[in-house]
Amino acid sequence: MSVPVAARWVGEATGHLDILDQTKLPARLEWLECRDVATVVEAINSLRVRGAPAIGIAGAYGLVIAAGEALRGQFSPDKARAHVLARGEDLASARPTAVNLRWAVERALAKLSLVAADTPAADLAALLLAEARAIHEEDQRLCAAIGRHGAAILPAGNILTHCNTGALATGGIGTALGVITTAWDAGSRFEVFADETRPLFQGARLTAWELVERGIPVTVLCDAAAGHLLATGRIAACIVGADRITANGDTANKIGTYSLAVLAAAHGVPFYVAAPSSTFDLSLASGADIPIEQRGAAEVLAPLGVPAAPAGAKAFNPAFDVTPARLIRAIITEHGAIDPVTPARIAAVLARH
């Protein structure tokens, strides 16, 4: 069975980026063809591509498109480099909370320091494409490793998850959802409960779609029903992804994650986070330092375009919240599980690799 792909590069250095438009799922499977940086930035802003690793990959490919713009404009080498750097900042700042986006863009841009200042745009495009592909392929390997490590420690029984952390959110099989599918493929049998994940329903539209496609039993629930479900004793573990993890283990993830972690703790259910090492931002001491993206009111007042509140009402719409490290049983990375989640343990695991 094929695993869905969030983004794919078509052609060589003068090619383009195809993004699977996740705003159309599950009703329609449509690809958005990106031939200019503005289209990539809009796709990231509008959540046509989403998930921390996936937007990082899209950002890296966006730099190749920037070099292609300079090539088509017949820019001189110095103007081409300046254009790529400027478009790089546009890409890196498209969404502020997920650290993988800026990480991937800056990693790719660092390659420019290795070549001469008079390097033409065509060569810059080839160099950036090689790095973007390396980031994409690396994420595939990281997801597979996270899946193996997570499946080895996930308790037997049903699983509750939040938002979407599968192939649609990454370059590989996923992080938290990759753990779930790896455990299933290894022979474990369970039911997955997926929070619908308001206001844009990534759990209902995307996670449930991925699981149905893979033949894994899935039940969708309103976010507000999670506490009741946990109280029934039917859930053995909760597992989610992450958009940024600080030096002390505080974790930013889709809004509603913090509430789920508090509920899991109240009912004695272990709460796991799965994320690659690139999601750690050790420059931040704690979750209090994480910038939280505020999104438009329409997502709350008229979700999926359906009016749900009276004219004149206001909306509070943070895209993410922060789960304190004390509520997390373990953070599952490509290097293994960080358990307990402490600054010393995080530093030790990440320093070894």
Catalytic residues: 243
CA distance 318 to 97: 11
CB 229 within 8 A of CB 196: no
Peptide bond into 120 cis (omega under 30): no
Q: How far is CA 196 from CA 121, 223, 315, in A?
A: 45, 6, 19
Three-state SS for 197? coil
CA atoms within 13 A on the CB side of 66: 31
CA distance 40 to 88: 11
- 80 CA to centre of own chain: 30
- 69 CA to centre of own chain: 27
The 10 Å CB-count burial string (b at 16+, else e) for 227-261 is eebbeeeebebbbbbbbbbbbbbbbbbbbbbbbbb
* DSSP notation for 62-79: HHHHHHHHHHHTT--HHH
